[in-house]
Structure 1
Amino acid sequence: MTEEIVKQKFGYTLDNKIINEILSVGVFKSFIKDDIIIDINQPIRFIPLLLSGNIKILREDNEGNDLLIYFLEAGETCTMSLTCCMGTSKSKIRAVAEQDSSLIMIPAQKMHEWFHSNETWRNFILESYQTRFDEMLEAIDSLAFLKMDERLIKYLANKTILNNSNTISIKHQEIAEDLHTSRVVISRLLKQLEKENRIILGRNKIEVLNFK
């Protein structure tokens, strides 16, 4: 079953040779929602390839508060962990399961070997860097130029895409932590969006109606 999922999620990008090597050396792991997959200052010994679910990548400020950087979807890898791996340093990010998720963990040294020996793997890594770089620039732009209500709308819209559903199961506190603000601010903004008939608030869930 794992072999089928790996081929389904990565076969369009990677050739059969590297797929077989991934299956040979990779370790299959499952995580439930809110599990910490990689933590800050943790030595990076494995590179995660996400097979199912979603993972959020967070940074921590000097006061210990988390700031959302980007989300990972199935078929992707965390380039922040790749960067730490290449520099043989400790993790600078926290990876948390946004949903129940399954991964195949690749020994860090294999990333170096394959980067030089396999073109499809090298292209996959470089494209991953480009995607994450663009997303990080977008995150910086949001922090610098968007008001909190605009950031909230963008956050909820991204959630509907990730979950493939207009109904999001989430607590106001979780949104506040992801957007680096207070629960009171988020609750107020959500109530305003509900008054504008753009969302419907429920118990620990939000139905997105219209963000045009």
Structure 2
Amino acid sequence: MTNKLLQQKFNQILDNDLLKEIFESGIYKEFKKNDIIIDINQPLNYIPLLLTGTIKILREDNHGNELLLYFLESGDTCAMSLTCCLKTSKSNIRAVAESDSSLVLIPTSKIHYWFQTNDSWRNFILEAYQIRFNEMLETIDTLAFMKMDERVYKYLIDKVKLAASTSLDIKHNDIAEDLNTSRVVISRILKQLENEKKIKLSRNKIEILNF
């Protein structure tokens, strides 16, 4: 981890003294796309600060089916893993690298201490809670009020925003897993969206039109 990268991502959020402490006590890690960063029932002794890349946060039901909750971008942390750290409980989410990612792991002891002693850290954590809470509400609204074709299109739009590109390298099965449905359903809906001139399909690639 370079101090320059840490400064680039967090210098507008965290004060310089804290960034120096993070650089000295944090653990730098790199993950490849699809690597599991945090798994369900894993004891958590740290929280991640995402430097580069994108991470998706998933829940799993009793049958092993996954549901996408939200994405983390560079400059984010995961409030749900923070809660588990503070309670010294096991993880109730799975964090998977959506793309090649780098992050710094903050030990639990530092999380507690900085929350009591550093205003910029406390504000950062409280804001992270609020952002993730709003995203959870959006996920619930999507499940409760949107039809599956609307959910799929919203999912694609969200991915475009994250990737900053209208061309997505993604398989139908990946979408099905994230939205907890079948590949057949996703393929049918994608073909419907293509007929509506909203997307263009090719092998393992989807282009979003008129975005």
Q: Which TM-score tier does this pair reach, normalised by the shorter chain?
A: over 0.9
Measured after TM superposition, the shift of residue 2 of structure 1 is 1.8
Matches within 5 A, 1:18-57: 18-57=18-57
**Equivalent residue runs for 1:49-88 within 5 Å:** 49-88=49-88
Q: How does 1:190-205 map to 2 (within 5 A)?
A: 190-205=190-205
C-alpha distance in structure 2 between counterparts of 1:108 and 1:52, whole Å: 22
Q: TM-score normalised to the size of structure 2?
A: 0.99
Measured after TM superposition, the shift of residue 197 of structure 1 is 1.1
2: distance between equivalents of 1:152 and 1:52? 26
**CA distance, structure 2, for counterparts of residue 210 and residue 191 of structure 1:** 17
CA RMSD, 1 decimal: 0.8
Q: Which residue in the other structure is 2:116 paired with? A: 116
3-state SS of 2:207 partner? strand
Q: One-letter code of the match for 1:72? A: L
Distance in 1, matches of 2:140 and 2:2, equals 36
Distance in 2 (alpha carbons) for counterparts of 1:120 and 1:7: 14
The corresponding residue for 1:8 is 8
The aligned residue for residue 171 of structure 1 is 171
Partner in structure 2 of residue 132 of structure 1: 132
Describe the superposition over 1:136-177 as per-residue Cα deviations: whole angstroms up to 9, x where unpaired.
000000001100001011100000000000001110000000
Comparing 193-202 with 49-58, greater Cα deviation is found at 193-202
Deviations 1:159-203 (A, max 9, x none): 000000000111000000000100000000000111111111111
Q: Distance in 2 between matches of 1:41 and 1:63?
A: 15
User: What is the Cα deviation at residue 55 of structure 1?
Assistant: 0.1
Whole-angstrom CA distance in 2 between matches of 1:100 and 1:150: 28
User: What SS does the aligned partner of 1:128 have?
Assistant: helix
The one-letter amino acid of 2:49's match is: L
| Equivalent residue, structure 2, for 1:104 | 104
Q: Match of 2:90?
A: 90
Partner residue in 2 for 1:186: 186
The offset of 1:210, in angstroms, is 2.8
Structure 2 CA distance, aligned partners of 1:4 and 1:197?
A: 44
Please state how far the C-alpha of 1:81 moved relative to its aligned partner. Answer: 0.3
Q: Deviations over 1:71-95 (max 9, x none)?
A: 0000000111000011110000000
TM-score, structure 1 as length reference: 0.98
Deviations 1:5-61 (A, max 9, x none): 111111100000110000010111000000000000000011100000000000000
SS in 2 for 1:5: helix
Structure 2: runs of 5+ lacking an equivalent: none
Q: Distance in 2 between matches of 1:186 and 1:210?
A: 21
- Which blocks of at least 5 consecutive residues in structure 1 are unaligned? none
